[in-house]
C-alpha cells in the first residue's frame, strides 16, 4: 500500500490513514494471518453452500470467498462465539462427568431406569389454508403412556443445530418431547409465524398434545 503519496501527507513521509483505509488495512492483515494459520479442511464451521459462496455455521454469516471467511475468523464476532461455544462444551462435559460418576450409585441406577425409552409416539399432521390465505399446520402427538406429572414440551430448532442433513436456512425443525417416549422432529418452512391470539395455540388433553400454528400471509410483489 502506497503510504508516501497519500493526500495530505508530506513528501517522503509515511502518510496518515483515514478510518476507511485503516479498516481495510486491518482486514487485509487479518486475512493474511488467517491464511497462514488456518486449515479450512479442519474448520468445523466452514461450509460452501449450493450458491458457491461460503458460510460460517457458528456465526451464520455469508462470505464471497475464502479470504473473506478467513478474515472473519479473526474478527471479534467469531472469536466471541468461539469462546461461548467452548464454554458451552465445557459445561456439557462437566454435566456428563457428574452423570458418569453417579452410574454406580443407587441414584445413578434410578437415572438410567428413568431414561428407558418406549419408542416414538403416534402423531398426525394436518395442513390447511384459511379464508385469508394463511397456511396452517396442526400437530397431534399421542402420549398414552406418559409418566405422571409430565407435560409434553416442544421447541423450534435451527437447521444449523442438527447434524442429520445439510443445513438449509429455508427450513427449521419443530421438536416434541415427553418421557418416556423418544423425541420426534418435523421439518417445516422457516417463514414468519402469526403469534396473535388464536393463531398459535397448544393444548394437552387426554394423552394428546396439540399444537396449531399459522404463517403470516405473504405479500405479493
Q: What is the pTM of this model?
A: 0.48
Helix, strand, or coil here: 85?
helix
What is the pLDDT tens value at each position of the chain, 221 positions in all? Answer: 555 555 555 555 555 556 667 777 776 776 676 666 677 888 889 998 888 899 999 999 999 988 888 888 888 999 999 999 999 989 888 888 887 777 655 555 555 555 567 789 999 999 999 999 999 999 999 999 887 888 999 999 999 998 888 989 999 999 999 988 999 999 999 999 999 999 999 999 999 999 999 999 987 65
Q: Would you state the torsion angle of the CA atoms of residues 163, 170, 155, 184, taken in this order, to the nearest 10 degrees?
A: -50
Cα(93)–Cα(166) distance, integer angstroms: 26
Cα(189)–Cα(156) distance, integer angstroms: 11
φ/ψ (deg, to 5) at 219: -80, 135
Cα(104)–Cα(186) distance, integer angstroms: 37
* Cα 51-52-53 angle, rounded to 5 deg: 95
Amino acid at each position: 500500500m502506497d503510504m508516501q503519496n497519500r493526500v495530505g501527507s508530506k513528501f517522503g513521509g509515511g502518510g496518515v490513514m483515514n478510518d476507511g483505509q485503516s479498516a481495510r488495512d486491518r482486514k487485509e492483515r487479518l486475512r493474511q494471518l488467517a491464511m497462514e494459520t488456518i486449515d479450512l479442511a479442519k474448520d468445523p464451521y466452514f461450509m460452501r453452500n449450493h450458491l458457491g459462496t461460503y458460510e460460517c455455521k457458528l456465526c451464520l454469516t455469508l462470505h464471497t470467498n475464502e479470504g473473506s471467511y478467513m478474515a472473519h475468523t479473526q474478527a471479534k464476532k467469531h472469536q466471541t462465539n468461539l469462546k461461548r461455544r467452548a464454554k458451552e462444551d465445557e459445561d456439557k462435559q462437566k454435566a456428563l462427568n457428574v452423570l458418569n460418576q453417579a452410574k454406580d450409585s443407587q441414584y445413578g441406577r434410578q437415572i438410567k431406569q428413568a431414561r428407558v425409552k418406549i419408542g416414538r409416539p403416534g402423531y398426525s399432521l394436518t395442513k390447511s389454508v384459511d379464508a385469508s390465505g394463511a397456511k396452517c399446520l396442526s400437530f397431534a402427538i399421542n402420549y398414552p403412556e406418559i409418566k405422571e406429572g409430565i407435560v409434553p414440551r416442544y421447541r423450534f430448532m435451527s437447521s444449523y443445530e442438527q447434524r442429520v442433513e445439510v443445513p438449509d436456512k429455508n427450513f427449521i425443525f419443530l421438536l416434541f418431547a415427553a418421557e418416556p417416549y423418544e423425541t420426534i422432529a418435523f421439518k417445516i418452512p422457516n417463514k414468519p409465524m402469526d403469534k396473535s391470539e388464536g393463531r398459535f395455540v397448544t393444548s394437552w388433553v387426554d394423552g394428546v398434545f396439540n399444537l396449531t400454528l399459522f404463517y403470516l400471509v405473504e405479500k405479493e410483489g
